[in-house]
């Protein structure tokens, strides 16, 4: 191909910081994928972000498509969020008592999601899912859960079985340290395969408490499920008196104010949120009907609590973000901008017969190397395609474009990605594809 020579960015400060970090943290990081282990080079240490840009400690500037893995739908350092945080923090950081702000964020969530009658705030997506699973078990009196191959739901024990994100990135999809007895309670089915789900219900009659699925699976590539499948999944759960848990940690307030539930027109029994609802602060939440949520302590027997749950500074950030999102045409504008971005990259690749597809929905996109037709299940991804991603990732960094350092993770477009910046990113992507 027509090799475009591009100088390597300087990484000397990041190198130094990483050496120091390796003495402090396993792999030098506080979350595994950040270590750049599956792509070339060392992790870049980020100094600041503004709009769609980030700067590293060596003063390299990037157009950021990682956006902290999803929370920053308005981009970095958004003025309304920043001001809201400062206002909250000036009144104190935490009280361990109810605040007005919790009600306000809850109402913003409830208003657009009729299936969420009651909810609980927690501090991460992991906690949200872990609590929703416990609640489903407590509500149904059953122990087993059914999850899908490649879906990542955070790092609670029973969900680290055939999971995506960092697990698939490092080639070991089930974590060590999960007791065999816990793993036995987790049934794993392939995505996009209704027969497998029906078979699981047949094999385990009256044992499955819940089926959990990502709103749109986005941790093992972007595995967009068909509406008919999602609706059938809903019916199947109802038929077997199992709860459907829709994990909207990525898709909640990302696809629209009503997330994947709205996108597919399904009514989940329980839903989990994280990322966007926290406006870049640590927040998660789980919710559902008043009946199911009525099992949560102190109303019911399922225990769940948190010192920093509903933290006022985090609530303030989430409120500020959701208020912007519910403005006129917010999602229409964001999604059409992002969809055109993805489509134009695909047109470029198609015209040159490159083995590349961009799977995208709304402002989420994923580069599927070597994909002739839509990939809907984890097993359809050729692990060898990650070799392309490794080169692609480095070439993009050298051209000022930052993607999350794993070919299994999706890209995020924010409202702060202007058309001009998206054009720049596209040119970099076209160049990198020519390598």
Residues in contact with ligand PLP by the rule CB under 6 A: 69, 124-126, 129, 152-154, 165, 214, 219, 247, 249-250, 274, 284
CB closer to ligand PLP, 57 vs 127: 127
Q: What's the min distance (Å) between Cβ of 127 and ligand PLP? A: 7
Q: Shortest distance, CB of residue 412 to ligand PLP, whole angstroms?
A: 11
Nearer CB in complex with ligand PLP: 216/428: 216
Closer CB to ligand PLP, 119 or 429, in the complex = 119
- Counting every residue written for the chain, the total comes to 435
Nearer residue to ligand PLP within complex by CB, 158 or 398: 158
Q: Is 275 a catalytic site residue?
A: yes
Q: Which residues lie below 8 Å from residue 156, measured CB to CB, with a gap of 6+?
A: 126, 129, 130, 133
Nearer to ligand PLP, 274 or 318 (CB): 274
**What is the nearest approach in angstroms of ligand PLP to the Cβ of residue 329?**
26
Regarding beta strands 118-122 and 61-64, do their DSSP bridges make them parallel or antiparallel, or are they unpaired?
unpaired
Sign of the four-CA dihedral 396, 398, 401, 403: positive
Query: Nearer to ligand PLP by C-beta: 215 or 312?
Result: 215
Q: Is 286 a catalytic residue?
A: no
247 catalytic per annotation: yes
Calpha distance 372→349 (Å, rounded): 12
Contact (Cβ atoms closer than 8 angstroms) between residue 257 and residue 277: no
CB of 215 to ligand PLP, least distance (A): 7
Which residue minimizes CB distance to ligand PLP?
125
Q: Which of 309, 280, 344, 376 is nearest to 79 (CA)?
A: 280
> Which among 64, 152, 263, 269 is annotated as catalytic?
152
243 and 292 Cβ atoms separated by less than 8 Å: yes
Active-site position among 144, 147, 275, 357? 275
In order of 42, 162, 224, 346, the CA distances from 150 in angstroms are 26, 6, 12, 24
Complex with ligand PLP: residue 222 or 396, whichever CB lies closer: 222
Closest CB 282 distance from ligand PLP, rounded Å: 7
Contacts with 348 (C-beta within 8 Å, 6 or more apart), sequence order = 426, 430, 433
Instruction: Give the C-alpha separation, 372 to 432, whole Å.
Output: 20
Annotated active-site residue in 56, 247, 258, 269: 247
- Kind of pairing between the strands at 364-369 and 411-412: antiparallel
| Between 129 and 160, CB nearer to ligand PLP | 129
Beta bridge partners of 367: 358
Q: In the complex, what is the shortest distance from the CB of residue 42 to ligand PLP, in angstroms, rounded to a whole number?
A: 23
Q: How far apart are CA 317 and CA 80, in angstroms?
A: 9
Could you tell me the smallest distance in angstroms from the CB atom of residue 281 to ligand PLP? 11
State the catalytic residues.
Answer: 152, 247, 275
């Amino acid at each position: 191909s027509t090799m475009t020579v591009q100088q390597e960015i300087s990484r000397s400060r990041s190198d130094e910081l990483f050496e120091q970090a390796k003495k402090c943290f396993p792999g030098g990081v506080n979350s595994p994928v950040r270590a750049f282990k599956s792509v070339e080079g060392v992790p870049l240490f980020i100094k600041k972000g503004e709009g769609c840009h980030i700067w590293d400690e060596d003063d390299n500037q990037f157009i950021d498509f990682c956006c902290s893995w999803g929370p920053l739908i308005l981009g970095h350092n958004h003025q309304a969020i920043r001001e809201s945080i400062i206002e909250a923090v000036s009144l104190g950081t935490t009280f361990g008592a109810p605040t007005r702000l919790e009600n306000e964020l809850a109402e913003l969530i409830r208003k657009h999601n009729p299936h969420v009658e009651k909810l609980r705030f927690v501090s991460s997506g992991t906690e949200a899912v872990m609590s929703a699973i416990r609640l489903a078990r407590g509500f149904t009196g059953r122990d087993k859960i059914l999850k899908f191959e490649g879906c990542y739901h955070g790092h609670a024990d029973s969900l680290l079985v055939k999971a995506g994100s960092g697990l698939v990135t490092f080639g070991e999809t089930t974590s060590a340290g999960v007791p065999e007895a816990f793993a036995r309670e987790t049934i794993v089915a392939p995505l996009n395969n209704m027969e497998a789900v029906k078979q699981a219900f047949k094999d385990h009659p009256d044992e499955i408490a819940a089926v959990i699925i990502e709103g749109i699976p986005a941790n093992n590539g972007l595995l967009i499920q068909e509406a008919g499948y999602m609706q059938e999944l809903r019916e199947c759960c109802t038929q077997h008196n199992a709860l459907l848990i829709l994990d909207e940690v990525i898709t909640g307030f990302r696809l629209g104010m009503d997330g994947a539930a709205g996108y597919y027109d399904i009514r989940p029994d329980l839903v989990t949120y994280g990322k966007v609802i926290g406006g870049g602060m640590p927040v998660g939440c789980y919710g559902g009907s008043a009946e199911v949520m009525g099992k949560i302590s102190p109303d019911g027997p399922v225990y769940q609590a948190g010192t920093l749950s509903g933290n006022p500074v985090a609530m303030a950030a989430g409120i500020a973000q959701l208020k912007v999102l519910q403005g006129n045409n917010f999602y229409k504008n964001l999604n059409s901008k992002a969809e055109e971005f993805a489509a134009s990259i695909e047109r470029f690749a198609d015209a040159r017969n490159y083995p590349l597809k961009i799977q995208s929905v709304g402002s989420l996109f994923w580069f599927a190397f070597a994909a002739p037709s839509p990939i809907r299940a984890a097993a359809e991804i050729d692990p060898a395609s990650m070799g392309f991603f490794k080169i692609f990732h480095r070439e993009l960094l050298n051209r000022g474009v930052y993607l999350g350092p794993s070919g299994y993770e999706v890209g995020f477009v924010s409202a702060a990605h202007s058309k001009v910046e998206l054009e720049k990113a596209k040119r970099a992507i076209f160049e990198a594809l020519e390598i």
